[in-house]
Structure formats: structure tokens, C-alpha cells
């Protein structure tokens, strides 16, 4: 029996890359079993064995056919109870950060979310998390016995193929009636058309952009520079841009050569997402906006005049 | 139709703009201003809107030492019916302890349909507390809730934002909902202001305080912060560019392309 259990997130397009990263981390820490919930899991289990899973636990039940947090958390908790792993790794995604705390609550177990590092000897692991605008690395240490559920951030380890002699084990779990009453009524899936992670140039818009029309202006600048449009959580929640463009703590982390921040005040939650941008240009009418402290070029002005001017100069 | 809604309100550090070294310098955590967790405030507004519509009771519970900013009294001024303070233990509290204490307090508050709180906490936009709370209470759970689209006597349906779009999720009642909407000033869901009349009336209203031992919670800690390590701060040399000067803008464009 392995000390580590890795929760594998998957959808129609297969296993998420972050799940494979979590599996790679489990290998570095001594090897882990991968847990699959759903239907038609055989091909996915094969993939996991090719990525070095010590074993694959497959729970094929119709109640788990589609991911729903409530039954999935009960299933995860049941597997943790029966296998008694000391560490449970879960991808830090909307799904994972939803699931791990709920399962931890069911088990009254320890939970740490958004970890970007693990240190210490087997069984005495400590979990690292970058906090406060990347100025502090907090070290979390579980207290007492019992499992620790940890969600891990993108970049935690490099996913890679490694042969394993492990086997696939079919499991069934008992789900309480209450758990089965959770369901997804309907999904409105937006086809992914944006690739912010690999974009060299990103024009980011924040609350200061003020309207959907002004966002069109930024889109124009992005087109001229061959870049992508990005956004803060505020402007996504305002409905000016789609959620797939969100950069920051929730949303993606980007590494462009050039980031032009328009109407972005510079809240910590956004800044962590653009930390690795090589050059930052900020346009903001508020001279005291915190974004200017991380900007290489500071333009204090109204973006509705500055952006068209820049476009004109770009020809 | 909901009859009793419980809102979890938190007073948090205002980390929107950290100046100085959060470990030692003048911007030390203790020196950061505190504020009403904005998403919890949105949760209160959501509860009050349901109260306006259905006439349900709204109770607010907070885990906090008495501070300068009294979030519970603020909730009463905005229209909550009752407020209870769970006295926070000395020192820092991990999420498991917070969930254990709040779960015990919520059980003590009696029958309820919904428990509402925000997704955001100062150090992350995740629903750690909501999940741990729902698990311990054995309730349904929906996180990153954008809006409640259906609420009956037995179930709630919410729209939530996910990486690939949005989904409508149903959960049985009682349920814990973590609301994750960052509201701008002109949004119709913006929290209402405190009412002057209620302020006058409730300024001295007693707020019950429940301690861990009263709630029967002991030794609930699961995780502790073993260390905080300072990371080197970013040093950025900032150049001012005059937006009125075409030459300055041109020079900048040449540099950055």
C-alpha cells in the first residue's frame, strides 16, 4: 500500500496535465497510487501506468460518471478511509480546490490548498505556499496523525512518462443518499480559444477600463501587437470579458515578454499572475495605483486617449 | 423557500496593497488595516435579498476577537436579524479549527436552509473554509457561486463559473454556498448600506459570545504554520512616460517591441 494517493482530474479530453504533475510529484516523494472516478476509465488507467503510477484505483460507478463535487468528495473520502494514505495530492483547479476541502471536512482531516512545494522526509512532509504578493513562503506542517489533503499548483513537478509495473484495481464505494442528490443540471461550455500561457504579448484590462466598449479598444491594441487580451477578476465578473482570459490567483499565471496593464490598480491577487512578465507597461489615471510599483514604464493618463494614440503610432 | 439563512462573516487583513515587508517591516501583518471580507458582505446582501423576498430569518456568525471593525454589528445595521460571535482561540487559527468551531455554532443555531460565505480570503481565492464546513456539517456544497437560480424547500441550484465556462449545479438543502463574485460599484448586487435607524436602535444590542469550550470543541488543529520565509522583493526601475508626448511614446514602443 502506498503512502500517497493522487486524485486524477479528467474530462472528455483526457487527464489534466496538472494531475500528471501531481503524479510525478508523488513519484519524487516515494510513489503513489492514482485514483480515477467515473466511467470508461480503462484507457485513462493505461495512461497513468505509463506515467509511473504505483497502482491505479478505478472507481467506475454511474453516480460518478460526470464530475459533481458532492458525490466525488464522498467517494474520495471513502477511498481515503479504506486505503489510509498519509498524503492525498489533488490538482489545484476549480475542481480540486472544491473537492479537497469538502473531503477533508468529511474526514475532519488536515487540508492545505494551493501548495507550490513540498519538503521534508517521507511521512513528515511540510507544504510550501507562496503568499502575500510572493513576499512570503509559508511552511505548513500537519499536526497529529491522519491524512493530509493537499492541492498542488501548476509547476509543482514535470509530468513525464515512466514505465510502471503497477496494476489497475477496481474499487466500489458506498455513497450516502445525501451525496447522490448533488448534480450538475447543465453545463455551458465555452470552447477554449485563448492561449494566454504561451502568449508573448498580453494586453491586460482591469476595472478601470470601465466598459465592454473600452475592452474592444484593448483588443485592437492586442491585434496590432500580435498579442492576446487578458483581464483581472473584476473585469471578468463585470461581464466585459470571458473567464478564460482571467489572469491572477484565480485564473492563469502568464509569462509574456510584454504585459501592458490598462486600468489595472494592481491588487495582489492579480500581480501574482503577472510576476514573470519581462516588461510591464502600466496605463492608469490614478498616479498612486500599486501597479506602477511593478511597472517598467509608467503612463499616468486616460487609457481611452493613450491606447488609440499608441495604435496610431504603431501604424 | 428558505426559512433561515446563516451568513459567515469574516474580518480580514486588507491585502490589496502590501507596502513594506510583511514579515518584519512597517507593513507587518499586524499593521495592515482590517476590513469586512468583501465577498462575505456580498453573501450577506444575497441573504438579505432572499429575506426581502421570502421574509426568512438571517443570522450572522463570525469567528473573531472583538476588533475595531465590528462586522457583526455592521451586519445588524444592514438588516440581519441576529448575530453571534464565536470567540476565536488565542493565536492563529487553522481552517480545520475555524470549521469545527463554526460548524458547532451553526448546529447550535438550529434548523437552517443555507449557509452563505464568500470564496475569497485574504490569502487566496479558494473555498477552503466552505468545504471544510460543509463536510463537517454533512451539508450539500456549491462553491464559486455566481448566482442562485432556484431555491425550493429541498434543493438549491446555482450558476457557478468554471475554467471551461459555467455550470448549473444542484445541491440538497441544507447547503453551504461559497459566493465568488467580485462586484464593481454599479452592480445591482452591490451590498446595501447600513441603515441609520437600525444603527440608532441596535448600537447597544447585545451580541452573544460563544467560546470553544461552550461549543464543545477542543484540539481541532490539523495544520500549523511552521515558518514564514521572506522572499526577495522585486526591484523594478520605473521610467515615466508622458502620455502627451508623441516622442516619448514612440521611444517606449521602440524599446518594448
- A178: chain B residues, CB-CB within 8 Å: 138, 140, 172
Nearest to B123 by CA among A290, A272, A261, A126: A272
How far apart are the CA of A164 and the nearest CA of chain B, in angstroms? 32
Find, in chain A, the residue whose alpha carbon is nearest to that of B21.
Answer: A135
User: Does B55 map to a domain?
Assistant: yes
CB-nearest partner of A296 from B134, B236, B244? B236
Burial A251-275 (b: 16+ CB within 10 A, else e): bbbbbbebbbbbbbbbbbbbbbbbe
Number of alpha helices (DSSP H) and beta strands (DSSP E) in chain B: 7, 15
Residue contact A134–B135, C-beta within 8 A: no
User: Does B238 map to a domain?
Assistant: no
Question: In the CATH scheme, what is the code of domain A4-180?
Answer: 3.40.50.620
Residues in chain A: 315
CATH number of A201-314: 3.40.50.1110, 1.20.59.10, 3.40.50.1220, 3.30.390.50? 3.40.50.1220
Residue contact A97–B127, C-beta within 8 A: yes
CB-nearest partner of A113 from B99, B128, B236? B128
Interval B61-78 mean pLDDT: 82
- Cβ within 8 Å of A, B 230-249: 230-231, 233-234, 236-241, 243-244, 246, 249
Interval B183-197 mean pLDDT: 74
CB B81 within 8 A of CB B188: no
Q: pLDDT confidence of A135, banded at 50, 70, 90?
A: confident
* Tally of domains in chain B: 1
Task: List the domain boundaries for chain A.
Answer: 4-180, 201-314
- Calculate the alpha carbon distances from A170 to A40, A41, A54, A173 in Å: 12, 10, 14, 10
CB-nearest partner of A110 from B140, B223, B250? B223
Report the range of poorest mean pLDDT among A80-89, A269-278, B8-17, B155-164.
B8-17
Q: Which triple of cell numbers denotes residue B28?
A: 507587518
Q: What is the pLDDT of residue B193?
A: 87
How does DSSP assign B78-126, residue by residue? HT-SEEEEEPPPSS---HHHHHHHHHHHHHHT---SEEEEESEETTEES
Instruction: List pLDDT tens digits, range B118-168.
Output: 886 655 556 789 999 999 999 999 998 888 999 999 999 999 877 667 889
User: Does B135 map to a domain?
Assistant: yes
CB-nearest partner of A192 from B161, B164, B231? B164
One fold for both A4-180 and A201-314?
A: yes
Nearest to A97 by CA among B161, B168, B61, B227: B161
Residue contact B136–A189, C-beta within 8 A: no
Residue contact B227–A139, C-beta within 8 A: yes
- Calculate the alpha carbon distances from A186 to A189, B79, B159 in Å: 9, 34, 9
User: Does B250 map to a domain?
Assistant: no
User: Does B251 map to a domain?
Assistant: no
The ipTM assigned to this model is 0.85
Range among A150-164, B22-36, B170-184 with highest mean pLDDT value: A150-164
d(CA B178, CA B171): 13
B124 in contact with A at a CB cutoff of 8 Å? yes
User: Domain containing B15: what range?
Assistant: 4-222
Interval A93-119 mean pLDDT: 93
Report the range of poorest mean pLDDT among B69-73, B109-113, B125-129, B226-230.
B125-129
Q: What is the pLDDT of residue B181?
A: 66
CB-nearest partner of B182 from A99, A234, A281? A234
- A103: chain B residues, CB-CB within 8 Å: 131, 135
Indicate which CATH number applies to the domain containing B42. Answer: 3.40.50.620
For cell 491586460, what's the residue? A204
Instruction: List pLDDT tens digits, range A40-83.
Output: 999 999 999 999 999 999 999 999 998 899 999 999 999 999 99
Three-state SS at A180 = helix
- B interface mutation test: which of A93, A101, A237, A310 has the most B CBs within 10 A? A101
Q: Which triple of cell numbers denotes residue A315?
A: 501604424
Find, in chain B, the residue whose alpha carbon is nearest to that of A283.
Answer: B243
- Calculate the alpha carbon distances from A51 to A60, A83, A95 in Å: 21, 21, 22
pTM for the model stands at 0.83
Instruction: Decide which of A164 and B80 is more confident.
Output: B80
Instruction: List pLDDT tens digits, range B228-242.
Output: 888 777 778 899 999
Amino acid at each position: 500500500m502506498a503512502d500517497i494517493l493522487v486524485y486524477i482530474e479528467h474530462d472528455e479530453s483526457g487527464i489534466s496535465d496538472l494531475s500528471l504533475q501531481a503524479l510525478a510529484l508523488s513519484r519524487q516523494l516515494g510513489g503513489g497510487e492514482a485514483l480515477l472516478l467515473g466511467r470508461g476509465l480503462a484507457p485513462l488507467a493505461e495512461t497513468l501506468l505509463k506515467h509511473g503510477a504505483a497502482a491505479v484505483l478505478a472507481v467506475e460507478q454511474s453516480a460518478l460518471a460526470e464530475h459533481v463535487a458532492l458525490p466525488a468528495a464522498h467517494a474520495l473520502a471513502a477511498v481515503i478511509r479504506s486505503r489510509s494514505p498519509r498524503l492525498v495530492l489533488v490538482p489545484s483547479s476549480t475542481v480540486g480546490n472544491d473537492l479537497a476541502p469538502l473531503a477533508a471536512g468529511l474526514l475532519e482531516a488536515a487540508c492545505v490548498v494551493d501548495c507550490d512545494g513540498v519538503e521534508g522526509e517521507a511521512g513528515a512532509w511540510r507544504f510550501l505556499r507562496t503568499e502575500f504578493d510572493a513576499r512570503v513562503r509559508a511552511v505548513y506542517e500537519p499536526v497529529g496523525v491522519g491524512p493530509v489533503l493537499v492541492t498542488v499548483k501548476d509547476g509543482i513537478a514535470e509530468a513525464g512518462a515512466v514505465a510502471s509495473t503497477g496494476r489497475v484495481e477496481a474499487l466500489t464505494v458506498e455513497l450516502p443518499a445525501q451525496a447522490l442528490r448533488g448534480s450538475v443540471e447543465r453545463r455551458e461550455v465555452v470552447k477554449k480559444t485563448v492561449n494566454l500561457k504561451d502568449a508573448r504579448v498580453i494586453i491586460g484590462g482591469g476595472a478601470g477600463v470601465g466598459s465592454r466598449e473600452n475592452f474592444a479598444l484593448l483588443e485592437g491594441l492586442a491585434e496590432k501587437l500580435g498579442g492576446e487580451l487578458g483581464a483581472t477578476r473584476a473585469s471578468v465578473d463585470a461581464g466585459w470579458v470571458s473567464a478564460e482570459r482571467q489572469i491572477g490567483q484565480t485564473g492563469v499565471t502568464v509569462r509574456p515578454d510584454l504585459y501592458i496593464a490598462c486600468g489595472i490598480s494592481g491588487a495582489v491577487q492579480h500581480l501574482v499572475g503577472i510576476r514573470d512578465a519581462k516588461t510591464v507597461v502600466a496605463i492608469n489615471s490614478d498616479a498612486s495605483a500599486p501597479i506602477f510599483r511593478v511597472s517598467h514604464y509608467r503612463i499616468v493618463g486616460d487609457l481611452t486617449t493613450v491606447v488609440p494614440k499608441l495604435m496610431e503610432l504603431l501604424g | 423557500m428558505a426559512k433561515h439563512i446563516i451568513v459567515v462573516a469574516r474580518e480580514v487583513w486588507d491585502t490589496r496593497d502590501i507596502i513594506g515587508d510583511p514579515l518584519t517591516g512597517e507593513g507587518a501583518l499586524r499593521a495592515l488595516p482590517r476590513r469586512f471580507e468583501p465577498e462575505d458582505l456580498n453573501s450577506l446582501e444575497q441573504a438579505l435579498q432572499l429575506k426581502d423576498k421570502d421574509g426568512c430569518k438571517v443570522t450572522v456568525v463570525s469567528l473573531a476577537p472583538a476588533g475595531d471593525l465590528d462586522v457583526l454589528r455592521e451586519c445588524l445595521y444592514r438588516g440581519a436579524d441576529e448575530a453571534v460571535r464565536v470567540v476565536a482561540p488565542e493565536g492563529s487559527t487553522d481552517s480545520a479549527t475555524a470549521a469545527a468551531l463554526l460548524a458547532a455554532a451553526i448546529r447550535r443555531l438550529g434548523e437552517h436552509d443555507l449557509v452563505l460565505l464568500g470564496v475569497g480570503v485574504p490569502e487566496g481565492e479558494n473555498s477552503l473554509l466552505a468545504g471544510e464546513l460543509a463536510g463537517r456539517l454533512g451539508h450539500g456544497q456549491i462553491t464559486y457561486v455566481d448566482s442562485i437560480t432556484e431555491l425550493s424547500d429541498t434543493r438549491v441550484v446555482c450558476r457557478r463559473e468554471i475554467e471551461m465556462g459555467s455550470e448549473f449545479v444542484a445541491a440538497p438543502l441544507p447547503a453551504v454556498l461559497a459566493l465568488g463574485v467580485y462586484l464593481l460599484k454599479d452592480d445591482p448586487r452591490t451590498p446595501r448600506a447600513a441603515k441609520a435607524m437600525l444603527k440608532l436602535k441596535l448600537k447597544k444590542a447585545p451580541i452573544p459570545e460563544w467560546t470553544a469550550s461552550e461549543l464543545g470543541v477542543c484540539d481541532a488543529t490539523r495544520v500549523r504554520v511552521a515558518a514564514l520565509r521572506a522572499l526577495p522583493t522585486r526591484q523594478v526601475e520605473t521610467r515615466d512616460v508622458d502620455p502627451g508626448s508623441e516622442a516619448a511614446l514612440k521611444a517606449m514602443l521602440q524599446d518594448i517591441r
